[in-house]
Amino acid sequence: MIRTQVGIVGAGPAGLLLSHLLSLEGIESVIVESQSRAHIEERVRAGVLEQGTVDLLNEAGVGDRMRRQGLVHHGIELRFGRRGHRIDFQELVGRAITVYAQHEVVKDLVHARFTAGGQIFFEADSVSIHGFDGDDPRIRFRHAGEQRELACHYIAGCDGFRGICRPSVPAGALRFYEKVYPFGWLGILAEAKPASDELIYANHECGFALMSMRTPGISRLYLQCRPDEDLAEWPDSRIWEELQRRFQTAEGFRLNEGPIFQKGVTAMRSFVTEPMQYGRLFLAGDAAHIVPPTGAKGLNLAAADVRILSRALAWRFCTGSDERLRRYSEICLRRVWRAQHFSWWMTSLMHRFNQDSGFDHRRQLAELDQVTSSRAAATVLAENYTGLPFQLPGEEL
């Protein structure tokens, strides 16, 4: 039997950052993760960090590599009608974003946990949680062939959308809100110099496309596809042809092409769990909510959740009062719904919808015209994209 203060299920960005923030507050935690360390450190995910996330990682002392290798961007381009229009975040809201891959954040956090003597059980299987409706929470799992039990005061469910924590809550205690989109993104990583210094979001009659990057020599590109798209139908030549079509401009813009070394399809959904807590179980990150990737909010929401949770737990262990833990869900959900709205809005603005008679596309072009010509409209986009302040009014924890 292992004893700790907080038992954490999942070593994604939410679980790792929570464990790290708790240790800075002098609180012990143990993480139980079903995958191997190599797997979580290599898993390809998104890569845009809001200013608030960057600040949090820096303040927590895990920002060294991000400061050296992250690419700071002061704006993005919206491309439609074969023309590019820049949204200047710096000028509109005085903020920036940082492009730094999620698995690099994960590597930095795993390193920080081990350096501080933190405990992570990788490759745990048959993970289950118990007793969180009373005052004796437990995490049971098998590790290296042995059955283990972790006794803790609280459990943090940071095990992603397909984890076991959320489904362990008795039926009817939580409410779920969901929207599934009729499309997905086919994403690639290519050894090709990004054709622009900033991200390009393209609305094209054939569907959405996004140009992002990982380093000055590696492009990250996405194109809208069917949610169940078969990658076998997408040889590299077809991917490049379709991407070039969607990014075309009147001035003859061309993406730089190069060897593709990773391909994948992601289906898109919006999902929220309310409340994000049941008894002594607290859900954080993708375990509690999913956003479509168009607004680049997934990782940033996870960071915001665990920031609030670490403070509320610190208050509880320091003063004995669970008053702040009781407000955890309400505080997180306000930001979550704001991010849901923004992600849905960006998604509906940029994608091609099935059975569009042409009306939706014309409506999108009119809205894009407004966003790129009205300072007020552009400011709303810039404010949301770079991230709401980490402390919204009323969130003083």
Q: Which residues bind ligand APR (CB under 6 A)?
A: 9-15, 32-35, 40, 45-46, 102, 124, 127, 158-160, 163-164, 285-287, 298-299, 302
Catalytic-labelled residue, pool 181, 222, 328, 385: 385
Tell me whether residue 212 or residue 329 sits nearer to ligand PHB (CB atom): 212
AA letter at 387: G
Q: Which of 103, 153, 289, 297 is catalytic?
A: 297
Beta strand pairing call for 125-130 and 119-121: unpaired
385 tagged catalytic: yes
Which residues, listed in sequence order, are joined to residue 121 by a DSSP beta bridge? 32
Q: How far is the CB of 77 from ligand PHB (least distance, A)?
A: 12
Q: What is the spatial distance between Cα 97 and Cα 50, in angstroms, rounded to a whole number? A: 5
Q: What is the DSSP-derived secondary structure letter of residue 61?
A: T
What count of residues does the chain have?
397
- Smallest distance from ligand APR to CB 32, Å: 5
> Looking at 13, 137, 194, 293, which residue is catalytic?
293
Q: Could you tell me the smallest distance in angstroms from the CB atom of residue 135 to ligand APR?
A: 23
157 binds, among ligand PHB, ligand APR, none (CB under 5 to 8 A by kind): none
Does residue 32 sit in helix, strand or coil?
A: strand
Smaller CB distance to ligand PHB: residue 102 or 329? Answer: 102
Helix, strand, or coil (residue 197):
coil
The listed partner (ligand PHB, ligand APR, none) that binds 294, CB under 5 to 8 Å by sort, is ligand PHB
Which residues make up the interface to ligand PHB (CB under 6 A)? 46-48, 199, 210, 212, 220, 293-294, 296
Partner from ligand APR, ligand PHB, none contacting 48, C-beta within 5 to 8 A by type: ligand PHB
Three-state secondary-structure class, residue 340: helix
Q: Which is nearer to ligand PHB, 166 or 214 (CB)?
A: 214
Shortest CB 335 distance to ligand APR, Å: 14
Instruction: Give the nearer residue to ligand APR in terms of CB position, either 35 or 379.
Output: 35
**Is the bond into 275 cis (omega within 30 degrees of 0)?**
yes
Residue 212 interacting partner from ligand PHB, ligand APR, none (CB closer than 5 to 8 Å by kind)? ligand PHB
Tokens of 24: 């800075």
Choose between 168 and 215: whose C-beta lies nearer to ligand PHB: 215
- Binder of residue 194, out of ligand APR, ligand PHB, none (CB less than 5 to 8 A by kind): none
Q: Strands 175-190 and 200-202, how do they pair?
A: unpaired
In the bound state with ligand PHB, the residue whose beta carbon lies nearer, of 15 and 47, is 47
Min dist. Cβ of residue 55 to ligand PHB (A): 19
What does the alpha-carbon distance between residue 304 and residue 389 come to, in Å, rounded to a whole number? 10
Q: How far is the CB of 392 from ligand PHB (least distance, A)?
A: 22
CB nearer to ligand APR: give 45 or 65. Answer: 45
Find the catalytic residue in 201, 222, 278, 328.
Answer: 201
CB atoms within 10 A of CB 274: 16
Is 293 among the residues known to form the active site? yes
Angle at which helices 359-373 and 375-386 cross, to 10° = 90
Residue type at 128 in one-letter notation: S
Residues 200, 84: contact at Cβ < 8 Å?
yes
Please choose, from the candidates 31, 93, 56, 58, the residue with its C-alpha nearest in 3D space to the C-alpha of residue 300: 56
DSSP, collapsed to helix, strand or coil, labels residue 45 as coil
310 exposed, middle or buried (CB, 10 Å; 0-12, 13-18, 19+)? Answer: buried
For residue 73, how many C-alpha atoms fall within 13 Å in the half-sphere facing its CB?
27
| Residue that has been written with the tokens 């980490």 in this structure | 390
DSSP string, 67-85: HHH-EEESEEEEEETTEEE
Q: How far is the CB of 25 from ligand APR (least distance, A)?
A: 19
Instruction: Determine whether 182 is an active site residue.
Output: no
Q: Which does 296 bind (CB under 5 to 8 A by kind): ligand PHB, ligand APR, none?
A: ligand PHB
Instruction: Say which of 13, 20, 73, 153 is annotated catalytic.
Output: 73
Cα of first residue to Cα of last residue in the chain, in angstroms, is 33
Q: Which does 33 bind (CB under 5 to 8 A by kind): ligand APR, ligand PHB, none?
A: ligand APR
Active site residues: 73, 201, 293, 297, 385
